[in-house]
Amino acid sequence: MPRDHRPAKSIRVLLAEDQGMMRGALALLLGMEPDIEVVAQVGAGDKIVDAALTHRPDVALLDIELPGKSGLDAAAELRDQSPDCRVLILTTFGRPGYLRRAMEAGAVGFLVKDGPVEDLASSIRRALTGETVIDPALAAAALSAGPNPLTARECEVLSASADGATVADIADALHLSESTVRNYLSAAIGKTGTRNRTEALREARQQGWL
Task: Say what the pLDDT of residue 93 is.
Answer: 67
Question: What's the confidence (pLDDT) of residue 51?
Answer: 96
Q: In the chain, which residues have pLDDT < 70?
A: 1-8, 93-94, 140-146
Q: What is the pLDDT at residue 108?
A: 93
Contacts 24+ apart (CB under 8 A), 200-203: 200/158, 201/158, 201/159, 201/161, 201/162
CA distance 16 to 87: 11
CA distance 83 to 157: 31
Strand 109-112, strand 59-62: pairing: unpaired
Angle of CA points 11, 110, 161, to nearest 5°? 130
Query: Apex CA 178: angle with CA 173 and CA 184, to 5°?
Result: 85
Determine which helix (DSSP H) or strand (DSSP E) holds 119, and give its type and residue range. Answer: helix 117-128
Residue type for position 2? P
CB 87, CB 113: distance < 8 Å: no
Identify the CA nearest to 192 among candidates 171, 209, 174.
209
Residue range 41-70, pLDDT digits in tens: 999 999 999 999 999 999 999 999 899 999
Query: Which residues in 5-132 belong to E strands, given as ranges?
Result: 11-16, 36-42, 59-62, 86-91, 109-112
User: Edge-to-edge, what's the strand order for the sheet holding 133-134?
Assistant: 36-42, 11-16, 59-62, 86-91, 109-112, 133-134
Counting every residue, how long is the chain? 210
Please tell me the distance from the alpha carbon of residue 16 to that of residue 19, in angstroms, as a whole number.
9
